[in-house]
Structure 1
């Protein structure tokens, strides 16, 4: 039986509010940094063992240039650009086909009797890639994965899965180095969070679990102890958002009509941190996977609504589409020193996002009651209408 698998992807801890804008831009404010595993159906040659090749003929390619089966099955012919020897595709070349759901698949490899031999480069429609070694038709050994959401992995691979020792970077910029099992952090590992702080210790199922050392963001202080299900043992789980909020403005089209600019914020976007309810403050604090209990993150004094309006106009004018994370590095004085971008990144976007983030006033972060430097994230999905 021919095998299929999935390219697994590790998930990072933590979450933060995002927003969805419509009209000139659509900024989807995702509620979680901890994105689910971004798996996709593996596509590669399923090699037929040499001993079985006589009993099980290859079903693809021309009669004089046979190719081992591919997964997912092609909707039509499989194109081989390379040499043919003794009735099989042979040597370096490129395979191309379309899956039954219409995705264009491309595989650059060296074939031996129609099957992959050694390293290969696999490209899936939608922006997913794998480059590395193959065994029995599956990615196996060492390789590099790039997922459509920007997640990256480099390290050991077992039968199509990220298993062994490797380095992964999440879509939000968290960087993990350590042990993996089936695409998730498992065993011993070290993660540096994009929102500051880091953790070294044990993991299970993609979450901090077991003994570890957490370095807090802002202060650099440490906690060493036991973790359960991603959090310090004995602490309460983060709250869940009960509703979302939208941003509405007015536009003059012969008359003043309301125009929805953004939606999806899990806290009111037009008020500052002090005006949030205790439950809403806990939501904001939960965005930070390494925030010490009692500390406070930075926050726009009047809420992030004005920044969303600015970015809606900018993304519409620049005709931008895609996911972007804008990190405003807020100093103890409440001023933005620099910004960082993840995901979509163009010179114009970087320039205007920096100006927009710096135009806001911020409440500085508090570390044990004292102002400290910390990042504030804006996660947006820009979708021109």
Structure 2
């Protein structure tokens, strides 16, 4: 998708205005809890924290503010554009990754980009930052198996990347 450079200025100004407004109000951080508590406790712990949107919502179920937060991850999205998003929300992906983290105990950042075609299918995964090759292989497989809401470019389905970022830590 190519946009004229003149169209970028209003977009940058609106992002800047949104960022200034966001500084006035703290943005809620979303988390994902265990399905069942760990052995020896009745408390379900957070397994994923720090989300900018609820993990259990599909893109259409997000509020306009939450959709704007997702759109802010992209450099050039116009008014008729929408990014790709996991069709079932982020929770199924994050639960699978959290289960792998329980076994692998990786630390560090993971950044990947999933190429999503106009039919909502993942066609490739690009690894931009990796803490561990085993985790990369697992997460890439999970991301490739997902169905996505396709991106919209000027209201029509199009190919676009879905960014996936996680920071792994070990629980003490």
Q: Which residue of 2 aligns with 1:223?
A: 4
Q: Which residue of 1 aligns with 2:85?
A: 299
Per-residue displacement from partner, 1:163-213 (whole Å, max 9, x unpaired)?
Answer: xxxxxxxxxxxxxxxxxxxxxxxxxxxxxxxxxxxxxxxxxxxxxxxxxxx
What is the DSSP-based 3-state SS (H/G/I as helix, E as strand, rest coil) of the residue aligned with 2:83?
coil
Instruction: Write the distance in 1 (CA, Å) between the matches of 2:8 and 2:152.
Output: 24
* Pair 377,227 (structure 1): closer, same or farther in 2 beyond 3 Å: closer
Instruction: Write the distance in 2 (CA, Å) between the matches of 1:360 and 1:384.
Output: 26
Deviation at 1:329, TM superposition (A): 1.3
Pairing partner for 1:270 from 56, 77, 80: 56
Deviation at 1:344, TM superposition (A): 1.7
Instruction: Write the distance in 1 (CA, Å) between the matches of 2:41 and 2:132.
Output: 35
Pairing partner for 2:152 from 366, 369, 379: 366
Query: Which of the pair is proportionally richer in strand?
Result: 1
Q: Which residue of 1 aligns with 2:98?
A: 312
What is the DSSP-based 3-state SS (H/G/I as helix, E as strand, rest coil) of the residue aligned with 2:44?
strand
Unmatched tracts of structure 1, length 5 or more = 1-219
User: Residues 1-385 of structure 1: matches in 2 within 5 Å?
Assistant: 220-225=1-6, 232=11, 235=14, 237-238=17-18, 240=22, 242-249=27-34, 250-251=36-37, 253=39, 257-344=43-130, 346-385=132-171
Per-residue displacement from partner, 1:136-157 (whole Å, max 9, x unpaired)?
Answer: xxxxxxxxxxxxxxxxxxxxxx
Checking the alignment, whether the CA contact within 8 Å between 2:82 and 2:151 is kept in structure 1 is yes
Per-residue displacement from partner, 1:92-111 (whole Å, max 9, x unpaired)?
Answer: xxxxxxxxxxxxxxxxxxxx
Per-residue displacement from partner, 1:37-80 (whole Å, max 9, x unpaired)?
Answer: xxxxxxxxxxxxxxxxxxxxxxxxxxxxxxxxxxxxxxxxxxxx
Instruction: Write the distance in 2 (CA, Å) between the matches of 1:346 and 1:257.
Output: 30
Per-residue displacement from partner, 1:302-330 (whole Å, max 9, x unpaired)?
Answer: 21112111111212312211111121111
Instruction: Write the distance in 2 (CA, Å) between the matches of 1:279 and 1:226.
Output: 22
* Pair 339,234 (structure 1): closer, same or farther in 2 beyond 3 Å: closer
**TM-score between both structures, scaled by the size of structure 1:** 0.39
Checking the alignment, whether the CA contact within 8 Å between 2:118 and 2:157 is kept in structure 1 is yes
Q: Which has the higher contact order (CA 8 A, sep 6+)?
A: 2
Checking the alignment, whether the CA contact within 8 Å between 1:226 and 1:233 is kept in structure 2 is no
Checking the alignment, whether the CA contact within 8 Å between 1:238 and 1:286 is kept in structure 2 is no
Instruction: Write the distance in 2 (CA, Å) between the matches of 1:283 and 1:238.
Output: 9
Q: Which residue of 2 aligns with 1:84?
A: none
Query: Which of the pair is proportionally richer in helix?
Result: 2
Instruction: Write the distance in 2 (CA, Å) between the matches of 1:353 and 1:270.
Output: 19
Instruction: Write the distance in 2 (CA, Å) between the matches of 1:253 and 1:245.
Output: 24
Deviation at 1:372, TM superposition (A): 0.7
Instruction: Write the distance in 2 (CA, Å) between the matches of 1:234 and 1:313.
Output: 41
* Pair 294,336 (structure 1): closer, same or farther in 2 beyond 3 Å: same
Instruction: Write the distance in 1 (CA, Å) between the matches of 2:127 and 2:101.
Output: 15
Checking the alignment, whether the CA contact within 8 Å between 2:120 and 2:147 is kept in structure 1 is yes
